[in-house]
Structure 1
């Protein structure tokens, strides 16, 4: 599949179910392989991923709902809980800070570059899931859930949570997107 075809297939899908079209092990393999392949500045390898499946995935969303104390509608949280799993994306601040100390001229850029790499990882995993027929969306409940997530998975305080990606079988396809006037965002000179 081409990159463009993969990106066309990748959409925010909110109506998910627990029925993955491939084995859980295949999803795990894709997450690991894509994480290994996605580049980052100075080859810092700052991205970290935690993938929760099944009951652990459901318990995670139970905890997210608890942390928000009803400020996020139950139906919205339930739509994520209905999926088969969630991928949590982090970057390791210790790695970023270490490179900033080693290369002081670029120190201010390392957190920015770590976020760039994390964004590339997110879109790459999301696209790879779409190629497997798995739906997903990208959520941002951080920083509200940061402490809970670190405690739940016994992660170091230096793991900076960036995003959450609930995924699962596709219950219903989203409406087709309207074609945009790309010239409003792209200038060729």
Structure 2
């Protein structure tokens, strides 16, 4: 394991104080997304993960438009202040990666391998999680702060309609990222590794 990967994984945090600056080019950000798609494994080599990269005005359209409007319609006006501030903090970032799993692929595998049918949705979530961690770690290594959000399923239909996405794509999460304004000063508390790992030789 390279020291750079270990360091990036260790220093990765949920960074909420971000701005619309990036230390790397848009092309390099796309390379990170493409690298994950080409190299992260999947059960039965299903390659069921689908990613959408939103930058600039498309990123703002997600947060200031779709997410804000959706929440404004369901959160009482007198309680909307904190919600609005949170969404504005995401909109202030540089971009968002939308993570999807293609249900058409999952359903095809369920039909082909009936004995494992119940497991394929679970394995698809495993695949999605591996893509999330890979991209998060690579963004960290590149000097970008990120956090993982879950405004699905309330935004799913509008997201797919806005960007013309396949209706079989299932939205699992949204990773918002940007230039780091302030990183959390303390690391999250970790349980002792001895309580979580068994070693037999």
Same fold flag (TM > 0.5): yes
SS state at 2:70 partner: helix
Determine which structure has more spread, i.e. the larger CA radius of gyration.
2
Pick one of 64, 67, 72 that aligns with 1:69: 72
Q: Determine the structure 2 residue equivalent to 1:50.
A: 52
SS state at 2:148 partner: coil
Q: Determine the structure 1 residue equivalent to 2:142.
A: 132
SS state at 1:86 partner: strand
Q: Determine the structure 2 residue equivalent to 1:182.
A: 193
Where structure 1 has 5 or more consecutive residues not aligned to the other structure, the ranges are: none
TM-score (norm 1): 0.95
Q: Determine the structure 2 residue equivalent to 1:4.
A: 6
- 1:179 offset after TM fit, Å? 4.8
SS state at 2:174 partner: strand
Per-residue CA deviation, residues 134-189 of structure 1 (Å, 9 max, x unaligned), is 10000000011111111111111100000000000001111221454233333435
| Inter-partner Cα distance in structure 2 for 1:68 and 1:170 | 26
Instruction: Note if 1:90 corresponds to 2:92.
Output: no
Task: Give the paired residue count.
Answer: 189
| Inter-partner Cα distance in structure 2 for 1:187 and 1:142 | 36
Pick one of 96, 105, 113 that aligns with 1:103: 113
- The 5 Å alignment of 1:122-161 reads 122-161=132-171
TM-score (norm 2): 0.90
The CA RMSD measured in Å over matched residues stands at: 1.4
Instruction: Note if 1:172 corresponds to 2:182.
Output: yes
Where structure 2 has 5 or more consecutive residues not aligned to the other structure, the ranges are: none
